[in-house]
Structure formats: C-alpha cells, structure tokens
Amino acid sequence: MTLILGIDPGSRITGYGVVRAGARGCEYVASGCIRTGNGALPERLQAVFRGIREVIETYGPVTVGIEQVFMARNADSALKLGQARGVAMVAAAEAGLEIAEYTATQVKQAVVGTGAADKQQVRMMVMHLLGLVQKPQIDASDALAIALCHAHTRASLIPHGLSAAKRRGGRLRL
Amino acid sequence: MTLILGIDPGSRITGYGVVRAGARGCEYVASGCIRTGNGALPERLQAVFRGIREVIETYGPVTVGIEQVFMARNADSALKLGQARGVAMVAAAEAGLEIAEYTATQVKQAVVGTGAADKQQVRMMVMHLLGLVQKPQIDASDALAIALCHAHTRASLIPHGLSAAKRRGGRLRL
C-alpha cells in the first residue's frame, strides 16, 4: 500500500488529493483546496507552502504527482502559476518526497482514457474510480486525478519479471 | 543601520546582494549567485530555497527587495522564472522578513537615474555607490542594485516631520 499525493497548483486555488494505492487499485483518503486569499503575494505563497506541508504531515504520502504546465494563456498568468507551482514543489521536496510531473493530457489519458476529456468528465471518472458519492471541488478532483495517474504510472513501471515472480509466490517482493 | 537583502531570481542563476543602510548611505556586505545546476526540477528549486535561507541565516537581513517581473519573453520562460521567484520569496517569508517588490525600471531609476540603463551601466553604478574594486557577477550586481533601490525607497518613505526633527537634533530617532 502506497500513499500518493496529487497536487494541482494554481495562483488562487491549489487542489490536493490523497489516494491509497494497493494491489486492487486505489482508495480515496482525502482531498481539498488551499485558497490563497487576497493578501500580499508573500502571504499567498506561504499559504501554498504551509498548506502542502500540512497535508504531507497529516496524511504521510511517500510520493507526489504534480501537474506539468506547457501551455499557459500568457506570460503573466504563467509567472503567477509558476510561483505557486514552485512553492508547492519545494514544500514536497523539503519533506523528502519523490516527485513526478504529468501533463494534463497524460492525466486525462490515464483517468478517462482520452487526452481530450474536460474537467467534468475527469471528475465523473475520479468519482467512479474512487467510489465517491459527493462531488469533490473541481481543483480537488483534478488533484485526485493526478494522484490516480501517478498511481497508474508507478504500477505500470513495476518490472514484468518481478510481478510474475510475485504472482507465482516467488521470494521476490517489491 | 538596517541590513537589506536584494534578490534577482532566475531559473538558472539567482543573484543575491546584502547591503547595510545607514544615515550616510549604504555599505557593501556580501553578494553572490545561487546556481541551480542541471538536476531535476525539485532539486533545482530546493537549491534556490536553501540558498536564500542560508544567506538570510548568515547575514541576518531584516528586509528584502525582490525584482518584480512584468515582461517575460514567453509563457514557458515566465513559468520557469515564476517557479524560482516563488521559491525565493517563500524562503524569505518563512524567515519572517518584510518583502518589497520593484520593477527593473524602478531599480534602474533608483541606481542609475534612468529606467533605460543596461546591466553594465547598473553594475558600474553599483560598484561606484558601494566602493567596490572587483566587478561582481552580473546577477549579483543586479541583486545589489535591488537592495540599493529598496534602501533608497525605505529612506524616502520616512515621514518628513520625523526627518526634520532628527536634523534639528530633536529627540525623535528612527
């Protein structure tokens, strides 16, 4: 069982989602949003830094998936997004966590099966895969999708030889 | 006497400069560069975070000036710059320091007297104002210029009444 944190960074709202990945798939642990408020920029960035640190201290994930951004609308929004993303990433790195980056297309592909899915479709599949009854907030849903994508990618990276040995009851354990 | 830190954030090199601001102007304390290397992004961001934290612990500045970026070449470079800038800013904020932002134009105006100055002109004026014999590296020079701009702006924000009282030998001291 591996606790996985997904982070969807944003200049106003940073979503987070924690899932427990095991042999039978993923279970929901927690999700939510860090809202940065209307204060001065240093305070808003501290809210992201401390928020991610608190999530890590509370749930104890061992690995993190974070959205990789290729296309920002413009240089100004890219700068603002970059500031929040850098701060979220350094909070995870300072906690000693392994960090993987995924593009939005990779996340959609892993969760919905098509890179062209919209946020609502992603949320529906996240709810279905994790058996959620209540709709998570949209940034929290994106973060859960990133966590699921990371869980899926990690699982598929397990060498086939080792998996086979494990299935046959061999001595190799991952 | 106030110790002032200037930061010129960059995705590859982050410059820093520390000056001591007193009644007779500014003295040079230290300057240098934090090079982020060629590692993975989380490691590069950690280098900025830890580097700024170390500078603060070593020299003990009480206030920070950091360059505000309006025009990035494109969204991709803006994102990368934003990541480093956010991390540098949160390192200062977590150390409890007051943070002020200045545009490149404001910095050039304060140090050279014209917002159209180039980096070489800024360096010449920084060397002149601080009595430096050796040329600082260009990012370190920019950081020192930001520190000088911040010192200048802080000084000019002192209420006139108080300054006058001080000049007349009154009891008010800042």
B82 contacts in chain A (CB < 8 Å) = 78-83, 85-86
Position A149: which residue type?
C
pLDDT confidence of residue A75: 84
Q: Which domains, from first to last, does chain A contain?
A: 2-170 (3.30.420.10)
pTM of the prediction? 0.87
Backbone angles phi, psi at A62, to 5 degrees: -105, -15
Q: Which of B78, B83, B92 sits opposite A75 (nearest CB)?
A: B78
> 10 Å Cβ neighbour count for A61?
25
Higher per-residue pLDDT: B68 or B30:
B30
Whether A90 and B87 lie within 8 Å, measured CB to CB: yes
Q: Which of B40, B82, B93 sits opposite A81 (nearest CB)?
A: B82
pLDDT band for position B71 (50/70/90)? low
Mean pLDDT of B142-147: 98
Active site residue B8: yes
Q: How far apart are CA A114 and CA A60, in angstroms?
A: 31
Residue A174 in this model has a pLDDT that exceeds 70: no
Whether A86 and B81 lie within 8 Å, measured CB to CB: no
What ipTM does the predicted assembly reach? 0.84
Residue A8 assigned ligand-binding role: yes
Q: Which of the residues B34, B66, B83, B99 would you substitute to probe the A interface, choosing the one with the greatest number of A C-beta atoms within 10 Å?
A: B83
Whether B90 and A43 lie within 8 Å, measured CB to CB: no
